[in-house]
Amino acid sequence: MKRLEVRFYDSNFRQGWEGEDKDDLAIATAIGYLKSEDEKQITLVMAYSDFGLNFAKLTIPKSAVISNKEARLK
């Protein structure tokens, strides 16, 4: 699985994604394995197993994404 670092506007502390004003939102960074992606959202997981078990799933709306890049180990 591809590893991603995603920077995004986090509106969870406001209990939802309503409104267009992003100036008062926290900027968050998440690093995880790319589980799925479509035109609306990116889903990351912290860990996965050979049996299909996923841990700590996080789904981020594409409208909130500032940037994403592949995370590589050195």
pLDDT digits (tens, 9 = 90+) for 32-73: 999 999 999 999 999 988 888 888 999 999 989 999 999 887
Question: Which range marks the domain in which residue 19 is found?
Answer: 3-69
The torsion angles phi and psi of 64, rounded to 5 degrees, stand at -95, -10
Does 15 have pLDDT greater than 60?
A: no
Tell me the whole-structure pTM to 2 decimals. 0.78
Give which of 53, 56, 25, 57 is closest to 43, Cα–Cα: 57
**Residue 51, domain member (yes or no):** yes
Name the residue with higher pLDDT: 60 or 22.
Answer: 60
**Residue 63, domain member (yes or no):** yes
Total domain count, the chain: 1
- For position 22, what pLDDT does the model report? 60
- For position 53, what pLDDT does the model report? 86
**Residue 58, domain member (yes or no):** yes
DSSP state for residue 52 in the 8-state scheme: S
**Residue 74, domain member (yes or no):** no
What is the C-alpha separation between 72 and 74, in angstroms, rounded?
6
